[in-house]
Amino acid sequence: AVKFDTIAAISTGPAPGPIGIVRLSGAEALMIARKVFKPASQTGDGLTPRCAVYGNVLDGTDSLDEALALFFPAPHSYTGEDVVELHCHGNPFLLEKVIGLALSQGARLAEPGEFTKRAFLNGRLDITQAEAVNEVIRARGDASLRAAMRQLEGGLRRQVEPLRERLLELRSRIEASLDFPEEVAEPQRISEAIGQILEKARQLASTYRTGRLLREGAKLVIAGKVNVGKSSLLNALLQQQRAIVSEMAGTTRDYIKEMMDLEGTPVVV
């Protein structure tokens, strides 16, 4: 694994909630966690790998919050490094205080996407899986979520990797024929093999449009003459009163844009 400094960040959303998670990753993650978290049990060192440990986050000698700590030792963690997660109450002010404690003990504030970046650099994820993490987070429908999960599980890699291996094999045969002309590779067979690879690559590339629709959403425009029921249709599709409906013509004057889920596919109306 590549060696980096230790980073920390709030891994849950900015809105208040019952649970908020502060994540640390790096060689000093466990040491920092032991300085800011005290297990309720006094047996052992308190932080058993892959077990939730109950205790308190400490600001000096004062208890800042009751929390759970989870330790994932390298290389069996999301980033491939030592990772500690502190599961606190989801008060944004409280979580900022916990982050401040971690930074005061030597951690650095993580950059956006840096945990996933480290997972990629440490070989835990390939580039297609790293991209899929963002797609899973931003999925806006059942179909888009399923597509993102397939990519996160290596679906795209499993299709691309055989093509790459076949190309490397053909390249080695061609280079060998240049070094040893008496053992000339069969040009016709190599040409046919390259053609097959190109065809499979074209088939894979043709799925881009579908993937983009699932990711960004199809665009649907409701157009028509004045007072024919465009607003009523929009409300019916969204199943909510988004636009004013009136017998008077021209009551909808503002530009209206909403997202809806159409049988699992996100649609921008």
Q: pLDDT, tens digit, for every residue of 180-222?
A: 766 666 777 888 888 888 988 888 787 777 777 777 778 889 8
> Which pLDDT tens digit goes with each residue over 116-157?
999 888 988 878 787 778 777 666 667 666 776 777 777 777
Please count the other Cβ atoms lying within 10 Å of the Cβ belonging to residue 240: 11
Confidence band, pLDDT 50/70/90 cuts, at residue 103: very high
- pTM score of the predicted model: 0.64
> What CA–CA distances, in Å, run from 119 to 44, 50, 122, 155?
30, 18, 5, 18
Question: Which amino acid would we find at residue 141?
Answer: G
- Cα 215 to Cα 207: distance, rounded to the nearest angstrom: 12
DSSP 8-state symbol, 182? G
Closest CA to 121 of 7, 215, 10, 212: 7
